[in-house]
Amino acid sequence: MPNAFSVNRREEGSVVILSLVGFLDAHTAPLFEKAIGDEHTSGRNEIVADCAGLTYISSAGLGVFMSFLEEIREAGGDLKLAAIIPKVYQVFEVLGFPALFDIAPSVEQALVNFSNGIRGGE
Amino acid sequence: MPSIEQTFTLQVPSSTVNLAMIREFVARVGGMAGFGENDVAKLELAVDEACANVIEHAYDSDTTKQVSVRATFDDEQIQIEIIDRGRGFDPSSIPQQDLDQLIAQRRSGGLGLRLIRTIMDDVQYQIVPGEKNELRMVKKIRKP
């Protein structure tokens, strides 16, 4: 399915890892919004979005990252992105995301950044 | 050899579920026009953004309405027109804000337009209130 999208969740200590798989567009963004919203509502504010399986993103998906970043940081956490494939990364880059988000090459690195208190966009 | 112009049209019900079909259509036509993989991906994104705007804003997700995508290319460029009969608005009237301002305001609006303007070489709107709205975008084919 060219518009399939799923979010898989796992925990690594205090950090929640949301693995995004497939196509994140205006049709599928509400699913991702709910996944992040659920974590934030339940007080889990250390989140890594594992983008290794994310093959497409449009502004609707980017908007979800943007709309939660401030609230999550104000709650003392961070929303980090990891393992973005080049085709998707070019979209993040066009909009200047690398200056605002902590984007790690791997989930492991994002976890290290959490333990070292490193945040993006500062 | 003279350049032969070819036109392809896709018309779908106004629903975000059809964005995937629209992207596949654009990818096929973009590939035929001679764009490389990266440029095809950018074209898909620009058209996705434009159609998502029409579906969600011009038509308020009314699936009884139709969105048309018409792609015309020759040796030099591809022109893609998105046509709807919904509530027209002039996107160029929306001020472009910095990303950190949008984040501070918890707003993500305007990102799609920013992507369209970055990706395409020329973007024009023609709005005939109550009749037809047309977004015309052009991207030049970069010769290897």
Count of alpha carbons within 13 Å of B138, Cβ hemisphere only? 9
CB contact under 8 Å between B48 and A25, yes or no, is yes
User: What are the tens digits of pLDDT across the range B67-114?
Assistant: 999 999 999 999 999 999 988 766 666 666 677 776 666 556 678 888
Residue A62 touches partner B, C-beta closer than 8 Å: yes
User: What are the tens digits of pLDDT across the range A6-32?
Assistant: 999 999 999 999 999 999 999 999 999
CB contact under 8 Å between A96 and B49, yes or no, is no
Chain B CA closest to residue A59: B112
Q: With a cut of 70, say whether residue B2 has pLDDT above it.
A: no
Q: Kindly state whether residue A121 falls inside one of the protein's structural domains.
A: no
User: Exposure pattern of B83-110 as b/e (b: 16+ CB <10 Å)?
Assistant: bbbbebeebeeeeeeebeebbeeeebeb
What is the average per-residue pLDDT within A19-47? 97
Distance (Å) from the C-alpha of residue B47 to the closest C-alpha of chain A? 10
Q: With a cut of 70, say whether residue A114 has pLDDT above it.
A: yes
Taking CA atoms, A120 is separated from A53, B95, B139, in Å, by 22, 26, 34
Interface test with B, best of A62, A66, A67 (most B CBs within 10 A): A66
Chain A CA closest to residue B41: A87
The class that CATH gives domain B6-140 is alpha beta
ipTM, 2 dp: 0.88
Q: With a cut of 60, say whether residue A1 has pLDDT above it.
A: no
How many domains does one find in chain A? 1
Contact residues, chain A, for B119 at CB < 8 Å: 94
Domain that holds residue A93: 5-115
Q: Kindly state whether residue A122 falls inside one of the protein's structural domains.
A: no
Interface test with A, best of B99, B105, B116 (most A CBs within 10 A): B99
CATH at A64: 3.30.750.24
User: What are the tens digits of pLDDT across the range A56-109?
Assistant: 999 999 999 999 999 999 999 999 999 999 999 999 998 888 989 999 999 999
